Chains A and B, each alone.
Chain A
């Protein structure tokens, strides 16, 4: 039995060693990757100077065209990430501050995402490789239930989030396999599908006070960033468009742009515009906030 216990101890030591080595390998690879996701790009950049930064979900990623701003002399980047929620947007902004970004204006999408205070597991996983290196990320996740396991058990974070930061992603980062996430200054255009737009149903959506949004407001105030929080277009056949009226009853400062583009030909799906829609919408936003006012 003594021999067996010794064998088990050796096996466990081997397991721990393997976990440690794999953790070092994966983390090293991710720390050197800056071209696969907006998060690794952000983490591996420093002292960026932006006039305008866009934050939000796919409804930012697919809706704001930085080129329109850049052509007018504004330095702009679209940091919207498909599937992210306001919690991840808040962390993105905190990370920007940690990386000494200088931002004049933040355009934040606040519409469907204030239906919940929840987070996105898919996007949370993308922050995990930097857990040991970034104090901001550690602080942000300090209250989640598995925080100590993620931080102290080697490789646990990569096991827990293997679908997003597991072997496939690590290998792709290692061989510098390109993605289109950073093309067009972060804007990802969608195609039209040609068919009829299926209405989105917002009847189960209720806008509520959002912790992450409050946090973003506080960060902007502390860092002297002009915050423009706005809704973005949904197709006109959306069920319960009244949802957008309720948003203003919770947060009156949010600008209403859900009707900025209405024609179905500008939509890829009910909640996402195609490229033409994105261009039209970005122009509307630019004109509303950045176009020099004509002298009276």
Chain B
């Protein structure tokens, strides 16, 4: 059941009515309704994976209490590592086993040893990377004594399985979400209205921007060997907007949906393409994952303390792991590596926390410099996205090589009967809309909200892609 499906359009109002009209009198009823709805939502993909989800929930729930009750540090550590190992083990089997087996066989073959690895024919359970990280953050917080373990299993299950965030995040923290599910939610008109606006804007991002860009980006990436330089540049730009529209659109729908139930989720995107350097980009892109890696990997490794070499090592680790988290492929690792390279100069020059403050543009040299920096950052990001989108590293390399060598910047007619430049006006309108609303969560609220809502609805209907349906990209992670 996708957020942009008819199924979800029926499911959501039913859950909303049950939640606010049947279960509204107590927190217990509210939570039961949400947990049942969440399990139903998840089972719509494949009911068999519900067992995995429930097992993972039970494992973390029991491990947390065991850690808390442990009397010795070694016992605490034992429970922590047992829980982490099982969680990562599941992730490893479902998501990474085949990759490691194939890579190992390739290494052996390069030494002349013929190997035919045993591969598993497994479907990746949707959302496994997200709910595994959910559980891990909880367990690690318990271990370090940042929070107390949750005794109520229903409340804890809801923290892990809450349907708006279950399949593609944001990756929540127990410190943020658990206190909200532990008390009865009262209906707030303003919050619910904001939720509706955010859902509508998320749909604009998904069906208008991401899915339209996908048509053109696919046409370019699938035939890159016959594309000219302009098409290849545009292909990378279209993909940049496809992945942004897709994932931030999903996040907006998730956050908006959650607001309908009176629950706030962590913000996942903060207009990342208006970043002035790569460090700022990573503070604004997939925020819940970036902060997760910062808190549970980067800082435990020593973070930015210690020698320069240690900082560099930690930076590369966090970016490579982040890339690998996205999928079992060398292209994702390369994408992480390139971002680490981008980040390196800022780190070495101590400029990675330079652009923390918000900015305003005016008619001055400083504004020109900001715009230039934004464009450079966006360009670098697009270059890295080529690795993310390409099927292999060789393909990404050939794509970039052709982009720089071809030298033809003219219009090109694709086999899909469209010109390479056709989508530029739509992308520009979207950029302007995002720029004007970059201090808000969505552009609809405020003055003329009905007019803006009408325009968004008209855009979804008239410009949305419906027949060439695309799943959310991040569901595969």
A contact set with B: CB distance below 8 Å: 1, 3-4, 7-8, 11, 14-15, 18-19, 22, 155, 159-163, 166-168
Contact = CB atoms under 8 A, between A and B. Distances in A.
A160 B193 contact: no
A4 B454 contact: no
A148 to B, nearest CB: 15
Given A14-B450, A162-B467, A1 B461 contact: no
A11 B453 CA distance: 8
Interface string B196-208: 1000000000000
Contact of B466 (A11, A19, A162): A162
Contacts of B196: 7-8, 11
Given A3-B189, A22-B461, 19 more contacts: A1-B187, A1-B189, A4-B192, A4-B193, A7-B189, A7-B193, A14-B450, A14-B454, A18-B457, A18-B461, A22-B462, A160-B466, A160-B467, A162-B465, A162-B466, A162-B467, A167-B462, A168-B418, A168-B422
A167 B468 CA distance: 14
B187 A162 contact: no
A283 B464 CA distance: 47
A1 B450 CA distance: 19
A152 to B, nearest CB: 16
Nearest to A17: B454
B183 to A, nearest CB: 19
B463 interface: yes
A168 B458 CA distance: 15
A36 to B, nearest CB: 13
Contact of A15 (B20, B189, B422, B457): B457
A268 to B, nearest CB: 16
Given A4-B187, A4-B189, A8-B196, A14 B457 contact: yes
Contacts of B466: 159-160, 162
Interface in B440-470: 450, 453-454, 457-458, 461-468
Given A7-B196, A14-B457, A18-B457, A162 B464 contact: yes
B203 to A, nearest CB: 12
Nearest to A165: B467
Contacts of B192: 4
Contacts of B461: 18-19, 22, 155, 159
A18 B454 contact: yes
Contacts of A159: 461, 464, 466
A22 B460 CA distance: 12
Interface of B: 20, 187, 189, 192-193, 196, 418, 422, 450, 453-454, 457-458, 461-468
A163 B196 CA distance: 28
A161 B467 contact: yes
29 contacts: A1-B189, A4-B187, A4-B193, A7-B193, A7-B196, A8-B196, A14-B453, A14-B454, A14-B457, A15-B457, A18-B454, A18-B457, A18-B458, A18-B461, A22-B458, A22-B461, A159-B464, A159-B466, A160-B467, A161-B467, A162-B464, A162-B465, A162-B466, A162-B467, A163-B468, A166-B462, A167-B462, A167-B463, A168-B422
Nearest to A19: B461
B108 to A, nearest CB: 39
Contacts of B468: 163
Nearest to A163: B467
A238 B418 CA distance: 32
A1 B186 CA distance: 10
Nearest to B463: A167
A181 B20 CA distance: 57
A135 to B, nearest CB: 26
A225 B69 CA distance: 91
A22 B458 CA distance: 8
Contacts of B187: 1, 4
B463 to A, nearest CB: 6
A163 B465 CA distance: 8
A200 B14 CA distance: 52
Contacts of A161: 467
B418 to A, nearest CB: 8
Contacts of A7: 189, 193, 196
A1 B17 CA distance: 11
A161 B454 CA distance: 22
A94 B334 CA distance: 59
A18 B466 CA distance: 17
A11 B195 CA distance: 13
Contacts of A18: 454, 457-458, 461
A1 B185 CA distance: 13
A230 to B, nearest CB: 30
A20 to B, nearest CB: 11
A106 to B, nearest CB: 29
Contacts of A14: 450, 453-454, 457
A202 B328 CA distance: 40
Contacts of B422: 168
A8 B192 CA distance: 10
A1 B20 contact: yes
A245 B450 CA distance: 65
A232 B422 CA distance: 38
Contacts of A155: 461
Contacts of B464: 159, 162
Contacts of A19: 461
Which interface residue of B189, B453, B462, B466 has the most chain A CB atoms within 10 A? B462
Nearest to B417: A168
Nearest to A26: B462
Ordered nearest first, which 4 A-B pairs have the shortest CB separation? A163-B467, A159-B466, A3-B189, A167-B462
B191 to A, nearest CB: 10
A233 B458 CA distance: 48
Contacts of B457: 14-15, 18
A167 to B, nearest CB: 5
A285 B196 CA distance: 63
- Of the candidates A3, A4, A14, the one having the most CB atoms from chain B within 10 angstroms of its own CB is A4
Indicate the member of A11, A14, A22, A160 with the most B CB atoms within 10 Å.
Answer: A11
Nearest to B195: A4
A166 B450 CA distance: 25
A135 B153 CA distance: 61
A3 B188 CA distance: 10
A110 B463 CA distance: 38
A15 B193 CA distance: 16
B449 to A, nearest CB: 10
A105 B125 CA distance: 60
Nearest to A125: B467
Contacts of B450: 14
Chain A CB count within 10 A is highest, among B187, B193, B461, for B461
